[in-house]
């Protein structure tokens, strides 16, 4: 199953929240504990392991600050997970 690697150019993010609203897994959020160089709360991914690499966040971003790459998940055997 593909997994996503989501990268933000956070100093260009204006904190509009469109990426937050469109994420089907609800793992994109605005970081209210930080302010970027433009004075906004930047977006970030709360749980990268849950990302399905759909790319909706990147498609919705009006400032093209999000890049999504697909990576293949490595299936763990029962021995490895124990």
Write down the H helix ranges in the chain.
18-22, 56-60, 78-81
pLDDT at 82 over 60: no
- The confidence score (pLDDT) of residue 80 equals 56
Fold entry, domain 2-81: Alpha-Beta Plaits (3.30.70)
Nearest residue to 43 via CA among 3, 2, 4, 6:
6
- Amino acid 72: pLDDT: 77
CB atoms within 10 A of CB 73: 9
Residue 68, both tokens: 């999504």
Under the banding of pLDDT at 50, 70 and 90, the label for residue 78 is low
pLDDT digits (tens, 9 = 90+) for 19-69: 999 999 999 999 999 999 999 999 999 999 999 999 999 999 999 999 999
Domain ranges of the chain: 2-81
pTM for the model? 0.81
- Kindly tell me the burial class for residue 4, based on how many C-beta atoms sit within 10 Å of its own C-beta (0-12, 13-18, 19 or more): buried
């Amino acid at each position: 199953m593909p997994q996503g690697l989501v990268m933000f150019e956070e100093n260009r993010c204006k904190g509009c929240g469109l990426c937050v609203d469109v994420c089907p897994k609800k793992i994109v959020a605005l970081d209210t504990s930080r302010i970027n160089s433009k004075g906004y709360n930047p977006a970030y991914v709360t749980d990268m392991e849950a990302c399905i690499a759909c790319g909706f966040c990147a498609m919705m971003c009006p400032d093209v600050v999000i890049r999504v790459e697909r990576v293949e998940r490595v299936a763990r055997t029962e021995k490895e997970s124990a």
